[in-house]
Amino acid sequence: MTETPEDILLSSRRFRVEREADWRRLEDLLERVASRSARALTDEEMLELPRAYRATLSSLSVARATSLDQSMIDYLESLSTRAYYFIYGSRSTMSERITAFFKYGWPAAVRAIWRETLISAAITVAAAIVAFVLVMSDPDWFYSFMPEMFSDGRDPAASTEELRRTLYHEGDESGLSVFATFLFTHNARVALFAFALGFAFCLPTIFLLAYNGFILGAFVALFASRGLGYELGGWLLIHGATELFAIIIAGAAGLKIGWALANPGELTRLGAAAEATRKVSLAVIGVVVMLFIAGLLEGFGRQLITSDALRYLIAATTGGFWIAYFYMTGRREAP
């Protein structure tokens, strides 16, 4: 004998028997969407999903008010929550997100912190000039700016000939290993720290940017004092145009966060910092991409290209590209 709803004694059971098909349908649709993507569903099914979601949600409110079947209520809660996150959550695919990032998100995020970028660049340049002047006046200053591990024999004690050789000959290392070590060394770390430490009211960020500038200035001064300034420029800028820009942007992002924390305006302090972090985070993803490209240029470009003119050409091209990309494209908002 099959049961008809009229035979059922408990109204909560009758309710379940009548509504269960809707819930099963929603569960099935969600299952398929989660295992593949939204494209796994036909257009009709896509339209059916919100309907099944609302039916289930209404079942949940009825069940809470009238049923004491705990497992059914738990089931409806979990199903409604899953459907809610799908329906009101983000449904864009990975490739859509990546395209939007390169087309609009990244340049817009960098453009939004142009003021901080200028400040960040000014700090770096000012520190570089200070270090340059000091080392030019007394080469011993070099040792105060430069940790021994970075100079790698490129210090005032080295002969001009030795210095010149370091610019065109990287020793026996292969490009790949230079690239790999790059990812774990100094610059990537400075960039990430400059961003992350913005939290402490900008101060560590400013310090790191200045420190980076000092090293730069000391380096340039050392080579310039031996008449190798032009050659060093090519060696440094072939990847430096990208890398220094990346560090400056990371610093700018850190400054933005620190500034928001210090001057939260109408928001709470933490809320303002969180808001600022969300705004700059796309720029920082971009910094990672830039550092990656800089690593490739340092690892391979600098190994293969030893002509100064060509190095400058690449530096100018990459630098020009970044400026054009950040400040001239993606002005239209994401659709």
Site for other proteins in 61-80 (CB under 8 A): 61, 64-75, 77-80
CB of 262 to other proteins, least distance (A): 16
Does residue number 117 form part of the binding site for other proteins (CB under 8 A)?
A: no
Residue carrying structure tokens 């990975």: 94
Q: Does residue 194 interact with other proteins by CB under 8 A?
A: no
- Which residue of 37, 144, 306, 317 would you call a contact of other proteins, by CB under 8 A? 37
Asked if 8 interacts with other proteins (CB under 8 A), we say yes
Kindly tell me which of 140 and 152 has the beta carbon lying closer to other proteins. Answer: 152
Give the C-alpha separation, 130 to 307, whole Å.
30
Give the CA angle between residues 237, 175, 285 to the nearest 5°. Answer: 60
**Residue 196 touching other proteins (CB under 8 A):** yes
Residues 172-191 that bind other proteins (CB under 8 A): 174, 176-177, 179-181, 183-184, 189
Minimum Å gap between C-beta 202 and other proteins is 16
- Distance set, CA 335 to CA 7, 38, 99, 102, 325 (Å): 55, 19, 12, 14, 19
Q: Is 19 in the site for other proteins (CB under 8 A)?
A: no
- For other proteins, the closer CB: 163 or 280: 280
Rank residues 62 and 313 by Cβ distance to other proteins and give the closer one: 62
Q: Does 329 bind other proteins (CB under 8 A)?
A: no
φ and ψ of 8, to 5 deg: -80, 135
**Residue 262 touches other proteins, criterion: CB under 8 A:** no
> Judged by CB under 8 A, which of 192, 200, 310, 313 binds other proteins?
192
* CA separation for the pair 67, 204 (Å, rounded): 58
Q: Total number of residues binding other proteins (CB under 8 A)?
A: 73
Q: What are the CA-CA distances from residue 220 to residues 60, 122, 217, 269 (Å)?
A: 70, 17, 5, 41
| Residues between 286 and 305 with contacts to other proteins, criterion CB under 8 A | 288
- B/e letters for 70-96, b = 16+ CB within 10 Å, e = fewer, are eebbebbeebbebbeebeeeeeeeeee
CA angle 245, 147, 210 (to 5 degrees): 40
Least distance to other proteins, CB of residue 226, Å: 32
137 touches other proteins (CB under 8 A): no
